[in-house]
Amino acid sequence: MKKALEGIRILDLSHVWFGPFCTLLLDEMGAEVIKIEPPWGDRTRMFAPLHNRESPTFQVLNLGKKGMTLNLKDPKGVQIFKELVEISDVVVENFSPGTMEKLGLSYEEVKKVKPDVIYASLSGFGQTGPYSPRPSYFSIAEAISGQAYLAGRGAGPDAPPRGSPVAYGDLGPALFAAFSIVTALYFRDKTGIGQWVDVSQADTMLALTASPVANYTVTGMTEEEREKKYPRMRGPGVGGFLKASDGWVAVLAGGGASMDAIAKLLNMKEVTREAFQEWVSQRTANEICGIMAKLDVPVAPVLKPEDVVKNEQFIARDMFVEVEHPTLGKVKVVNFPVKFSESPGRVYGPAPALGQHNEEILTKLLHYKPEEIEQLRKEGVIT
């Protein structure tokens, strides 16, 4: 089958989570992604826990990409990057605003080399506004967008702000970035015009907070005022996370047919959360899930990562694949999650070693001679 993004080449200058997850998705949809790192490597390579000197985080964020090292503080490194731009479609970077200008690789400079380039700048606060120069990470985006406050209130009115467990302030914005890059490519296909795509973590996390924001802008009530006036909006019925005899389950029975089915099961006219919790506590998670599923009540076990990889639903959906890594051996990783009937996405291989594809890229794409490559290595332009 054909790859949806086959023929698209992406130069990936990004690091940590935000940018690499964006380009990972594009790679799994068939684009050729060249991950360009400084000679000392992306610091994500050292994210704990290290196993055989490899970081699981780096591995899963860079699956299938080609690896190249390039010292962009050296004029020769900048020249090589521009040569790659000429034969590529997309540039992705997530440096602090102003960094690419200092390197001589701003959008305006890159556009001179490739007029129809799609140039995606991913940053904490975007390229404009008073906060633009500030550094940022996922928790900063979650804080300023209201997400951390709302997550904390979910645990109780006096609970402190709470961050996400898996860097949602990076991963959510990365989805917007990937979607926006593909949209820009489609626009270019129709018009021949490239463009600068400015993706802000704070803006995109705010977009995910649109409903709570509207609760305030439409009603004029704060979260505290709204919860006092409409207390049942915090959780109608008996939904939530409930403790079973051997773990936890999530049940969402907010009313209607679901509550009628549970009332009949418990032989009660009106089911309270306390009564349902008592029923749940006497049964295993599997028993509860089986019973609720038969009643057509939304339910799932609360799984740990070691349980997730054994789950029959995910296995049936081919959500795990094995890749062969040169030092880690066979590694099970999460597959591309969306199913396409004609152009399926998938994991194409392990993450690259540092500078693994230097010679391949320089010889096959840019036609450098072996002695020229060796000289670049001696000068510290590549590893």
Note if the bond before 370 is cis, omega within 30 degrees: no
Active site residue 170: yes
What's at 107, amino acid-wise?
A: Y
Q: Residues 292-319, buried b or exposed e (16+ Cβ, 10 A)?
A: beebebebbbeeeeeeeeeeeebeeeeb
C-alpha to C-alpha distance for 67 and 64, rounded to whole angstroms: 9
pLDDT digits (tens, 9 = 90+) for 215-240: 999 999 998 898 888 775 544 578 88
At residue 97, φ and ψ (nearest 5 deg) are: -50, 135
| Predicted confidence band of residue 279 (pLDDT cuts 50, 70, 90) | very high
Catalytic residue, chosen from 42, 170, 198, 203, is 170
Q: Taking all residues of the chain, what is their mean pLDDT, rounded to a whole number?
A: 95
Q: Residues 335-363, buried b or exposed e (16+ Cβ, 10 A)?
A: bbeeeeeeebbbbbebbbebbbbbbebbe
pLDDT digits (tens, 9 = 90+) for 281-306: 999 999 999 999 999 999 999 999 99
Residue 99 pLDDT exceeds 90 = yes
Q: Which CATH number fits domain 234-307: 3.40.50.800, 3.30.450.20, 3.30.1540.10, 3.40.640.10?
A: 3.30.1540.10
Tokens 């049964």 appear where? 283
Q: Where in the chain is the domain with CATH 3.30.1540.10?
A: 234-307
> Smallest Cα–Cα separation from 145: which of 213, 198, 94?
213
Question: The tokens of 153 are what?
Answer: 């209130």
pLDDT digits (tens, 9 = 90+) for 6-56: 999 999 999 999 999 999 999 999 999 999 999 999 999 999 999 999 999
C-alpha to C-alpha distance for 233 and 245, rounded to whole angstroms: 29
pLDDT digits (tens, 9 = 90+) for 332-345: 999 999 999 999 99
- What is the CATH number that goes with domain 9-208+353-378? 3.40.50.10540
C-alpha to C-alpha distance for 257 and 270, rounded to whole angstroms: 13
Residues 118 and 91 sit within 8 Å (Cβ to Cβ): yes
Give the model's pLDDT for residue 229.
85
Residue 331 pLDDT exceeds 70 = yes
> Smallest Cα–Cα separation from 105: which of 208, 13, 20?
13
Residue 254 pLDDT exceeds 50 = yes
> Smallest Cα–Cα separation from 85: which of 360, 366, 367?
366
Tokens 């799984």 appear where? 303
Q: Where in the chain is the domain with CATH 3.40.50.10540?
A: 9-208+353-378
At residue 117, φ and ψ (nearest 5 deg) are: -65, 145
Contacts of 49 (CB under 8 A, 6+ apart): 55, 56
Give the model's pLDDT for residue 232.
58
